[in-house]
Structure formats: C-alpha cells, structure tokens
C-alpha cells in the first residue's frame, strides 16, 4: 500500500498550488484554502472558525448530523511507521494477510539541510465521509451510512463483489475479502468494539506515539471536539477536491 503514496499525494511542480477544479470546489462550500503540504493538493488548510465548522459537517458550531458523530484526528507529524495500528486493526477485525483496513503511506522529502533526505509517514483509512461516493455507486445498497452514528458500513450479505465502491473511493480504503466474498473496510471498530461498550478504536489504543485521537464530534466535552474547535487550530483533510466531507482530520504536531 505504500506504493500508493504518489497516487494519493498528488505531486505538483509548485507545492503551494492546487488545481483550479479543487479551488472551485472549495469555494463552492465556502472554504478558504490557505495552503497545501506533502508536495501536492491532498491536504488543504482550513484555519478559520466558520469554514472549519462547515468542514466538520455542521451548520452551527456544536451541531452535527449524528448522535454520536464519530470522528478521528490524526497528527500527521507524529507517525513513526511502527505499524502497531495496522497490527491491532488486523487482529481485532480478522483482516486477511492480503487485505487492509488501514495503511501507512510514506515518501522521502528534503530535510532542513538540502542534501539530507528524510522520510515522512501518513496513516490513511476510510474517512467515514458525510458525502460518501461509495454509498452512491453501490447497486445493492450493501454500502450504507449508519443513520445513528454516521459510520459508513458494509452489509456483507448484500455485497455482490462488483467493486464499484472500491473504484469510487478517493482514499483507496477498501479491499475485496475473498473469504467472505465481500468488500471490507474500516468501520471505526464499530462491530468489534464500539457496539460492545468500548470507547476507542484498536488503532488509537495501540499507537505508542499518540498519533490517533478517536471520539464523538457531537460531545463538546470530548478531547476530539475541543481539539477541532480551537480558534487557532489548523485542520487538514485528505483530497479536499473530492467533496466528500470526511470525518478523519489531520492536525500538525
């Protein structure tokens, strides 16, 4: 999956530029684009309060479509590529050796000294979009967005293996499970943990570097809510031009 880095992280001759199509898409939603990182137009910065509120899927601060409204923060500068998150996910969700529910992309970039190259890592998983293209293209409605918590789920008994959802996902976050003969993906550990009373995902719990923060975006007392609503907080999302309104947010630091 690390080979997808160059595909997912769109390269640009000028890392400060984003495509006209993506810029128009952002302006259509009222977002202010202030910059990009990782050499392309994948992560867009939205630092002001009103655009951030819109980015998080709320028309009014603190008002969100689902109760609970599960979301995740990933600190993009903390990942050390130990893959503990992948191991925990694989074990918890019985992911086969050829499959994946989360992955870590990597690339080399120039360090402070121009002659020195350093490697950076970016954890990627299903973004549990508010506007999921996978749901729109599924011919049998096997992929659906849970009406209570907003998690994008897969009903294996309805999946016919057409893989249309895999093709439509802008994050390459799905795979076909040959054992179940159905597409599989991250569900924030809902079936294995959350619905059994757990309050955290396996990946967040296993990470030694505190890269992942999981929580309820509708709970104003949660750490996740407080972090995302800091007035000076810079929030970034993957592939903003896709217009998916994801519930996985990348923060610096």
End-to-end CA distance of the chain: 24
Q: How far apart are CA 34 and CA 17, in angstroms?
A: 10
Q: Return the SS3 of 118.
A: strand
Q: What are phi and psi of 60, to 5 degrees?
A: -130, 140
What is the Cβ-side half-sphere exposure of residue 247, based on CA atoms within 13 angstroms? 31
What is the set of domains in the chain, with CATH numbers? 2-251 (3.30.70.20)
Q: Return the SS3 of 20.
A: helix
The DSSP call for residue 204 is H
Give which of 45, 27, 24 is closest to 36, Cα–Cα. Answer: 45
Residue 113, pLDDT score: 65
| pTM, to two decimals | 0.78
Tell me the two tokens of residue 230: 């800091």
Residue 17, pLDDT score: 32
Q: Which residues of the chain have pLDDT under 70?
A: 1-63, 111-115
Q: Please calculate the CA angle 165-168-172 and round it to the nearest 5 degrees.
A: 90
Tell me the two tokens of residue 176: 């076909």
Q: Return the SS3 of 109.
A: strand
Other C-beta atoms lying within 10 Å of the C-beta of residue 32: 14
Residue 119, pLDDT score: 85
């Amino acid at each position: 999956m690390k080979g997808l880095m160059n595909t997912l992280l769109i390269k640009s001759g000028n890392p400060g530029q984003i495509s006209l199509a993506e810029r128009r898409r952002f302006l259509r939603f009222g977002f202010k684009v202030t910059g990009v990182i990782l050499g392309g137009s994948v992560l867009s910065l939205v630092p002001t309060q009103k655009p951030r509120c819109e980015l998080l899927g709320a028309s009014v601060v603190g008002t969100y479509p689902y109760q609970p409204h599960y979301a995740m923060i990933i600190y993009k500068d903390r990942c050390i590529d130990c893959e503990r998150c992948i191991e925990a996910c694989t074990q918890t969700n019985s992911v086969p050796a050829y499959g994946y529910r989360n992955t870590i992309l990597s690339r080399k970039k120039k360090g402070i000294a121009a002659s020195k190259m350093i490697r950076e890592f970016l954890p990627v998983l299903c973004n549990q979009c508010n506007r999921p293209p996978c749901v729109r293209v599924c011919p049998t409605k096997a992929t659906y967005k849970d009406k209570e918590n907003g998690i994008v789920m897969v009903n294996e008994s309805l999946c016919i293996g057409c893989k249309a959802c895999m093709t439509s996902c802008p994050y390459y976050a799905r795979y076909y499970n040959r054992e179940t003969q159905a597409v599989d993906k991250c569900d924030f550990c809902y079936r294995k943990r959350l619905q059994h009373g757990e309050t955290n995902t396996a990946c967040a719990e296993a990470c030694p570097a505190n890269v992942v923060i999981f929580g309820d975006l509708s709970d104003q007392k949660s750490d996740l809510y407080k972090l995302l609503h800091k007035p000076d907080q810079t929030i970034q999302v993957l592939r903003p031009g896709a217009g998916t309104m994801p519930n996985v947010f990348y923060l610096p630091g």
